[in-house]
């Protein structure tokens, strides 16, 4: 989010229940403890190079209930999940996990970067998050490595059936 986009907060944009809703989700339980000290942002390696990603700001927006602004923003997907913020938060807020909860909710709205879509369909197909080229598989023998364990596609699909975000899993899973 750029500064300009953040200037005015309209009351109609606010979902006052948002903070209670996400506080029930695993990882975001301690959201309301945040007192905005800014340790997360000042220690964040991404914030150092990004002009828009500020974990403190995202946490504050979540507390304020600016649901749409957070969930519809690409900024949310910049977190590298290094967990520095989580480990250093003096209030014990699991900042990286709150961001993950918010991403899960954004995913339910269909906001999912392509890289995740590709990894997911590959997992369903082969068990592996990447499509491992046949050459690589063959080369293992040359390198003296044992054959790669195979993924059980049917079984993986079965265990993931009906999960949220439903559309994502349906479209990718083909069931």
Partner 1 sequence: MSKGRYLIFLGCAIPYRVSAFEVSARKVLAKLGVELVEMPEFNCCGLPLDPVSHEAMLVLAARNLALAEQKGLDIITLCPGCAGTLKKVNRMLKEDGALRHSINQRLKEVGLEFKGTIEAKHLMQVLIEDIGLERVKDSVIKPLTALSVAEHNGCHILRPKEFIGFDDPEDPKTLKTLIEATGARCLDYLEETECCGAPSVGVNDKIALQLARNKLNHVKAVKAEAMITICPFCHIMYDTNELRIEKMFNETYGIPILHYPQLLGLAMGFQPEELGFSELRVDASRILDKTKGGK
Among 54, 56, 69, 103, binds partner 1 (CB under 8 A): 103
Among 80, 90, 91, 171, binds partner 1 (CB under 8 A): 80
Q: Which two tokens stand for residue 33?
A: 């403890």
Q: Cβ of 47: how many Cβ atoms within 10 Å?
A: 20
- 3 with 67: CB under 8 angstroms? no
Nearer to partner 1, 7 or 150 (CB): 150
Q: Which of residues 126-145 bind partner 1 (CB under 8 A)?
A: 127-130, 132, 136-137, 139-140, 143-145
41 binds partner 1 (CB under 8 A): no
Distance CA 147, CA 105 (A): 39
160 binds partner 1 (CB under 8 A): yes
- 52 with 41: CB under 8 angstroms? no
Q: Please give the C-alpha separations between residue 92 and each of 19, 55, 153, in angstroms, as whole numbers.
A: 17, 14, 39
167 binds partner 1 (CB under 8 A): no
Residue with tokens 């993924």: 151
104 binds partner 1 (CB under 8 A): yes
Q: How far is the CB of 86 from partner 1 (least distance, A)?
A: 5
Backbone torsions φ then ψ of 116, nearest 5 degrees: -75, -35
3-state secondary structure 12-32: HHCCCCHHHHHHCCCCCCCHH
Q: How far is the CB of 74 from partner 1 (least distance, A)?
A: 8
Residue with tokens 């000290």: 37
Nearer to partner 1, 6 or 160 (CB): 160
Using CB under 8 A, list all residues that contact partner 1.
26-27, 45-46, 49-50, 77-84, 86-87, 94, 96, 100-101, 103-104, 107, 112-116, 119-120, 123, 127-130, 132, 136-137, 139-140, 143-146, 148-152, 155-156, 158-161, 163-165, 168-169
């Amino acid at each position: 989010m750029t500064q300009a986009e953040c200037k005015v907060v309209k009351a109609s944009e606010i979902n006052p229940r948002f903070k209670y809703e996400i506080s029930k989700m695993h990882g975001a339980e301690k959201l309301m403890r945040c007192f905005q000290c800014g340790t997360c942002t000042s220690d964040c390696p991404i914030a150092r190079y990004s002009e828009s990603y500020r974990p403190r700001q995202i946490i504050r927006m979540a507390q304020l209930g600016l649901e749409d602004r957070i969930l519809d923003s690409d900024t949310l997907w910049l977190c590298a999940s290094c967990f520095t913020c989580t480990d250093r938060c003096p209030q014990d807020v699991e900042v990286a996990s709150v961001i993950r909860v918010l991403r899960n909710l954004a995913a339910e709205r269909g906001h999912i970067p392509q890289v995740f879509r590709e990894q997911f369909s590959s997992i369903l197909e082969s068990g592996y998050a990447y499509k491992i080229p046949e050459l690589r598989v063959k080369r293992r023998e040359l390198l003296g490595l044992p054959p790669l364990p195979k993924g059980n596609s049917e079984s993986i699909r079965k265990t993931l059936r009906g999960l949220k975000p439903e559309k994502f899993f349906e479209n990718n899973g083909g069931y």
